[in-house]
């Protein structure tokens, strides 16, 4: 009896605090439907930061908040973009949408940023093209739209970030089923100092072409490099090293 009374009391205090501080969405529903768990989550995510400072605390709190309310930053950035409609505000919304794997929507905001001095900005067009390629690979965007963005990017500056543009061409050729063109683009890239992303994507291409030994050789090189790389390099390329490890496990089961 005492336990339930305490839970109800904590729930009421939590709801009162939520309403007074204007944090009703989504916390009011969390506190109502998850009495004790919701109150604890609200305490950790919203109340503790008011009393505790420091980067470590902030990082932990941000992680908790993102898990409980993954769209919270998107709402804030969208509201700011509506209030001050600048290219940078639109880019910030686009980047957050990419973090949420909503690439088609991200592309819309990148396009809204392409005005004035930013109309032919190479970095902005590269970001748009990357978002469209990611979206196309996930089925959110049609490949012809991604191809058009790549053509526009190349027209603006064909020699800038040449390796990145070549990798995009290889990905496009692979998506279109043009294995010969994809192979040429990948092989040209592999002759230089190919990035972990390039090598992992090349290994995947080789795997789809049933060249399993060649794919395994590429992945071994990536994983060996990971073991020798400095800590900051491992952090920077962690996603691709993880994908290389997963791909190697798949190959070993083949």
Co-location of 81 and 136 in the same domain: yes
pLDDT recorded at residue 125: 97
In a domain, 60, yes or no: yes
Which of 68, 91, 120 is a domain's end point?
A: 68
Co-location of 96 and 119 in the same domain: yes
Co-location of 192 and 235 in the same domain: yes
Co-location of 80 and 48 in the same domain: no
Which of 68, 102, 124 is a domain's end point?
A: 68
Directed axis angle between helix 162-175 and helix 143-156, to 10°? 160
Task: Give the tokens for residue 124.
Answer: 């902005």
pLDDT recorded at residue 213: 95
In a domain, 172, yes or no: no
Report the run of H or E that residue 97 belongs to, with start and end.
helix 87-99
Which of 115, 138, 154 is a domain's end point?
A: 154
Co-location of 197 and 138 in the same domain: no
Co-location of 92 and 146 in the same domain: yes
In a domain, 235, yes or no: yes
Task: Give the tokens for residue 220.
Answer: 């071994």
pLDDT recorded at residue 13: 73
3 state DSSP class of 254? coil
Co-location of 78 and 117 in the same domain: yes
pLDDT recorded at residue 111: 97
Cβ atoms within 10 A of the Cβ of 33, count? 9
For each of the chain's 254 residues, which pLDDT tens digit applies?
666 666 566 767 767 776 666 555 566 666 666 666 666 776 666 666 655 544 444 555 555 565 567 788 999 999 999 999 999 999 999 999 999 999 999 999 999 999 999 999 999 999 999 999 999 999 999 999 999 999 999 999 999 999 999 999 999 999 999 999 999 999 999 998 899 999 999 999 999 999 999 999 999 999 999 888 888 888 899 999 999 999 999 998 87
Co-location of 194 and 235 in the same domain: yes
**How many domains, in total, are found in the chain?**
3
Which residues constitute the domain of residue 47? 2-68
Co-location of 54 and 75 in the same domain: no
In a domain, 170, yes or no: no
Give 17-25 contacts, CB < 8 A, sequence gap 24+.
17/42, 17/47, 18/42, 21/46
In a domain, 178, yes or no: no
Q: How far apart are the C-alpha atoms of 179 and 13, rounded to whole Å?
A: 63
pLDDT recorded at residue 3: 60
Q: What is the pLDDT of residues 159-218, one digit of tens each?
A: 999 999 999 999 999 999 999 999 999 999 999 889 999 999 999 999 999 999 999 999
Co-location of 76 and 42 in the same domain: no
């Amino acid at each position: 009896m005492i336990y339930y009374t305490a839970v109800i009391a904590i729930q009421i205090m939590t709801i009162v605090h939520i309403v007074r501080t204007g944090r009703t969405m989504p916390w009011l529903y969390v506190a109502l439907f998850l009495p004790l768990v919701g109150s604890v989550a609200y305490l950790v995510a919203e109340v503790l930061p008011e009393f505790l400072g420091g980067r470590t605390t902030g990082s932990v709190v941000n992680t908790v908040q993102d898990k409980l309310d993954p769209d919270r930053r998107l709402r804030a950035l969208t509201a700011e973009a509506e209030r001050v409609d600048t290219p940078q505000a639109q880019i910030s919304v686009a980047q957050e949408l990419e973090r949420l794997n909503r690439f088609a929507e991200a592309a819309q905001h990148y396009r809204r940023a392409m005005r004035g001095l930013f109309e032919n900005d190479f970095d902005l067009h590269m970001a748009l093209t990357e978002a469209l390629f990611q979206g196309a690979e996930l089925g959110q965007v049609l490949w012809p739209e991604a191809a058009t963005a790549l053509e526009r990017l190349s027209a603006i500056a064909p020699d800038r970030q040449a390796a990145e543009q070549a990798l995009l061409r290889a990905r496009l050729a692979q998506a279109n089923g043009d294995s010969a063109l994809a192979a040429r683009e990948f092989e040209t890239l592999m002759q230089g100092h190919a990035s972990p992303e390039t090598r992992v994507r090349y290994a995947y291409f080789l795997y789809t072409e049933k060249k399993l030994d060649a794919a395994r050789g590429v992945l071994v090189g990536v994983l060996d490099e990971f073991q020798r790389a400095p800590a900051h390099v491992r952090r920077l390329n962690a996603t691709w090293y993880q994908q290389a490890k997963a791909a190697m496990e798949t190959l070993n089961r083949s």
